[in-house]
Structures are given as C-alpha cells and as structure tokens.
C-alpha cells in the first residue's frame, strides 16, 4: 500500500475496530459482508503498510489521574529534538510540532503529583532552548479518549455499529491493579494480542484472562484505541485550538465542539484559555471555513488561537522505539 487514501473498505474496517478492536475477523467480516480472508488481509496490510496500530490505553479520567496539556515554545532548531525526548517519557501521551516548528503541544498523564512536578518544575525549566512554558490542567473531557474520531466518519451504519458493539459480562467497577500490569503492558503493545500471547506474557489461564480483560474493558479503566494517520482518511490539515469562552458558556461551548465532525479531542482547561481542542480538516480551505463559520459563530466564544500541526511525534504510545525517561 502506498501513501494514497484508505478506500471505503479500509475505512469500514477501521471504524469496526474502533467499535470493538478485539472483535474476531469472522465477526467483522459478517457485519461488513465480505470474507474472513478479506478482512484478515486488509488488516495485515493496514498494519504493515498503512501505519495503523491497535493498542490498549489506560483511561486517566476513570482512574482519577491528572492530565495536562503543555505548550512549549522553543528555538527553531531545537523543537524536534525536545519533542523526541519528551516522547520517550512514559508520562506523555500526545505530542505534536506546531506553529512552524517552533512550538510543541504535549499532553502529560502523570500517575502521581510528584511525577508531574518533576517534569514541569524541574526538567523542563532546566532544558536549554525552551523559551516559554504554558501549562493547562485538563478539567473535563468533552470528547476524545474512548470516544474515537472515526465514529464521526459514519463509515458504518448505525445497524452495523450495534451489531459490532461488545457486550461485557462484568459489573463495570474494575480498576487496573498491580496484578494487571503484565496484561495491560502486553495489550499496550498490541491491543489485538491473542489469548495465547497474553497467557505467555502473564502466566495466567485463558479463562482468568478473559474474565479480567472483560472487567477492565467494561469499566472503561482500559480501552483499545485505533491509531492511524488522518491524512490517509483524507484529512491532511490538523490543528490545535486554544479557546477562551465566557465562564457561563464553558459547558455549552464544550458540548457543541464534541458534536462537530472536525473535533477529535476537546476539553475544558485551567490556564491561559479555558477550552482546548484538536481538529482535523481536509485541507487549509476547510480549516478556514470551520474557523469562520463554525467556531466564529459559536455563542460564548470570546477568543480563538489556532496553531497548525506540522507533525505528530507521539499519539498514545511511544512510536519510535522504547526509550527511557526523556529530558534526563
């Protein structure tokens, strides 16, 4: 597969995986009305040539962990190096180069307050060539996380989505424990790892693994995400929005953003602005139309700053090989 856009069947398969990333190829094939072999072949091609990854993600909201968006302004020759160093850290979840390559947008998901303070108050201020640091605490997620952007593409019909939606036999109250770490670590590498592979990684029986994974997925403590290049879906223009909304309109603006097809992520924030969003558009003209006709007419919006994304360095997992703690 070359760099052309994914075709209709590719998009349907990606949407199906977003609904249930661990669904069997036979189940997906039945819903898409193609053969099992076609689904298996397409998936292998998407993964090897299309840069598609299926990985498990810990939902920090369910676990009550803090999440921050950092906006780092750097000297022009240093942003890429600093972004790659940040990507090696296990507490970073999304990193992009923006604004002509002089800024970095970086989401952090520290498991402890000390871990976050080490980065924000220690390592970053001492890092040469970082000119300015802005930190935004994410207060309330309006869209993103387990709510994947592909569901807004409508590649599948509502009937197909209902047929694929998993049914968990669990009470939905599970949280990730130290005993779960080998299981979660294996799924963070491959969200579709077979139970034989998970048995090898954990030493637990298949029946125990099935019950525990079912409980973690049902509770939302863990979800399985589909990572892909939005340009292959025909959305080559990505940008971050830094929005100031009137306090009385904050919730209304956030919920409106969540319904926009262009919005992949939106959150209320504490910082220099109070709403952050990541948007995807087909091209720069579509970005202009969205800013002028959708955001510009949204009641309660007082100010908007848009920073185009030049390149995504990290999405949810470290994408350029395992590393130690960056910015050492």
pLDDT at 50: 74
What was the pLDDT predicted at 325? 52
Handedness of CA 109, 325, 317, 264 (dihedral sign): positive
Identify the pLDDT of residue 321: 38
At 148, is the secondary structure helix, strand, or coil? coil
Distance separating the N- and C-terminal Cα atoms of the chain: 39
Report the pLDDT value the prediction gives residue 51, as an integer from 0 to 100: 84
CA distances from 278 to 2, 71, 149, 163, 267 (A): 27, 13, 11, 30, 9
How many CA atoms does the CB half-sphere of 157 hold within 13 Å? 6
Token digits of residue 92: 């970073």
- Supply the pLDDT for residue 49: 85
**Residue appearing with tokens 């910015």:** 327
The pLDDT of residue 123 is 86
pLDDT given for residue 1 in this prediction: 45
- Residues with pLDDT less than 50, the chain: 1, 318-324
* Residues 67, 108 contacting (CB under 8 angstroms): yes
What was the pLDDT predicted at 326? 58
Q: In angstroms, rounded to a whole number, what is the distance separating the alpha carbons of residues 82 and 130? A: 9
**Residue 242: which of 284, 295, 280 has the closest Cα?**
295
What is the CA 223 to chain-centroid distance, rounded? 11
Q: What does the pLDDT read at residue 22?
A: 96
Q: What pLDDT score was predicted for residue 322? A: 45
Q: What is the DSSP letter of 241?
A: E
- Residue 90 has a pLDDT of 85
In the block, residue with structure tokens 């600093």: 82
Nearest to 228 by CA among 24, 8, 54, 20: 54
Instruction: Give just the sign of the alpha carbon dihedral 277, 80, 74, 129.
Output: positive
Helix (H, G, I), strand (E, B) or coil at 70: strand
Rg (the chain; Cα; Å): 20
Contacting residues for 265 by C-beta, under 8 A, at least 6 apart: 141, 143, 144, 276, 277, 278
Using the structure block, give the residue that is written with the tokens 């003209």: 285
């Amino acid at each position: 597969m070359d760099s052309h856009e994914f075709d209709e069947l590719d998009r349907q398969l990606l949407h199906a995986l977003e609904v249930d990333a661990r669904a069997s190829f036979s189940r997906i094939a039945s819903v898409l009305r193609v053969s099992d072999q076609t689904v298996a072949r397409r998936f292998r091609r998407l993964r090897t040539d299309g840069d598609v990854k299926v990985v498990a993600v810990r939902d920090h909201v369910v676990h009550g962990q803090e999440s921050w968006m950092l906006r780092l302004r750097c000297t022009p020759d240093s942003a890429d190096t600093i972004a790659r160093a940040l990507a090696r850290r296990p507490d970073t979840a999304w990193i992009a180069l923006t604004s002509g390559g002089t800024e970095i947008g970086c989401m952090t998901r520290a498991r402890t307050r000390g871990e976050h303070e080490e980065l924000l108050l220690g390592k970053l201020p001492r890092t040469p060539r970082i000119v300015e640091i802005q930190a935004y605490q994410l207060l309330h997620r309006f869209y993103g996380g387990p709510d994947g952007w592909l569901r807004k593409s409508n590649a599948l019909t509502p009937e197909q989505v209902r047929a694929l939606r998993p049914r968990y036999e669990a009470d939905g109250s599970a949280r990730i424990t130290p005993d779960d770490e080998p299981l979660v670590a294996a799924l963070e590498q491959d969200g579709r790892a077979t139970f034989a592979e998970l048995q090898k990684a954990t030493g637990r029986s298949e029946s125990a693994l099935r019950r525990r994974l079912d409980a973690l997925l049902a509770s939302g403590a863990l979800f399985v995400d589909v990572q892909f290049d939005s340009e292959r879906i025909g959305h080559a223009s990505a940008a971050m929005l830094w929005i100031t909304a009137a306090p009385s309109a904050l919730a209304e603006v956030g919920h409106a953003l969540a319904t926009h097809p262009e919005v992949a992520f939106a959150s209320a924030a504490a910082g220099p602005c109070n709403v952050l969003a990541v948007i995807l558009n087909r091209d720069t003209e579509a970005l202009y139309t969205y800013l002028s006709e959708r955001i510009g007419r949204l009641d309660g919006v007082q100010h908007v700053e848009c920073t185009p994304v030049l390149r995504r360095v990290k999405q949810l997992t470290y994408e350029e090989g395992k590393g130690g703690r960056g910015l050492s």
